[in-house]
Amino acid sequence: MRILLVEDDTAQLEPLQTALSQAGHIVDGVENGAIAQWAITQRDYDLLILDWMLPEISGLDLCRQYRKAGKTAPVLMLTAKDTTGEKVTGLDAGADDYLVKPTDLFELLARVRALGRRSPVWQGEKLQLADLQLHISTQIVERGAAKVELSTREFQLLEYLMRHPYQILSRNQIEQALWEWGSEPESNATTTLVRRLRQRLQLLNAADWLETIYGMGYRLNPERKNNI
């Protein structure tokens, strides 16, 4: 998933960002509410993790603005505010979950997995599209009796495609989904990555699921077997 992590304490931001990245997520970590507000307008996120007390714009106000804008990605409020009234306020502002600091990393990762399972293509601990199964914890893709282990970047691309099945995704959308701020990809990076993923899917006899829509982008489509 692509996650926006907003935490003004760098001593907490950095280990959280590292743990989420090691779990296979693409994480944009920011320390300021105003920067987070701008980031939300620039990219689509699968999950927001918001500290309540932030410089310039609070996490609570960010959450309210996000919901008012019609955005539907899950929001996890991560804060030192621990009274029942504060938890109610956070959830009523639009948060889907609420976790009190100090943070247990194992619990945080479990909460993130639980919020990520709200996607309609989730089946237990895996993403499933037709008979293609992507196991999140092992980064293994499976079809029938065949299994292939993916690299982290191949896994992130397939996860993104499976979360948006049948949709034409432009090269820009893919790059925004897979690369963090400040790490812009090389000009041929997406083409190379798609080719590598097709080679992996070929081992599952599913390479033709990943269509190239010339001039537009790419689409994961198990119902059409020929590239356009």
Domains 2-117 and 126-220 share a fold: no
Q: How high is the pLDDT of residue 222? A: 86
Per-residue pLDDT of 176-195, as tens digits, reads 888 877 777 888 899 999 99
Closest by alpha carbon to 218, among 201, 203, 205, 204? Answer: 201
Give the list of residues 6+ apart from residue 208 with CB closer than 8 angstroms, or none. Answer: 225, 226, 227
- The length of the chain is 228
DSSP letter, residue 222: T
Q: Strand ranges (DSSP E) for 57-195?
A: 75-79, 97-100, 122-123, 126-129, 132-135, 140-143, 146-149
Q: What is the DSSP letter of 169?
A: B
Residue the block writes with tokens 């119902």: 223
Closest by CA to 197, choosing from 188, 210, 186, 185, is: 210
Q: Where are the domains of the chain?
A: 2-117, 126-220
Peptide bond into 102 cis (omega under 30): yes
Q: Please answer whether residues 198 and 211 qualify as being in contact, where contact means their C-beta atoms are separated by less than 8 angstroms.
A: no
Question: β-pairing, 26-30 with 140-143?
Answer: unpaired
Question: Which residues have C-beta within 8 Å of that of residue 182, sequence separation ≥ 6?
Answer: none
pLDDT of residue 228: 42
Structural Rg of the chain based on CA atoms: 18
What are 149's two structure tokens?
């282990």
What is the per-residue pLDDT for 183?
Answer: 75
Report pLDDT for 120: 52
Task: Please give the CATH superfamily to which domain 2-117 belongs.
Answer: Response regulator (3.40.50.2300)
What number of other Cβ atoms are within 10 A of residue 219's Cβ?
A: 20
Q: What's the pLDDT score for residue 126?
A: 81
Q: With a threshold of 0.85, does the pTM exceed it?
A: no
CATH number of 126-220: 1.10.10.10
Q: What stretches in the chain show pLDDT beneath 70?
A: 119-124, 224-228
Helix H, strand E, coil C: the string for 117-134 is: CCCCCEECCEEEECCEEE
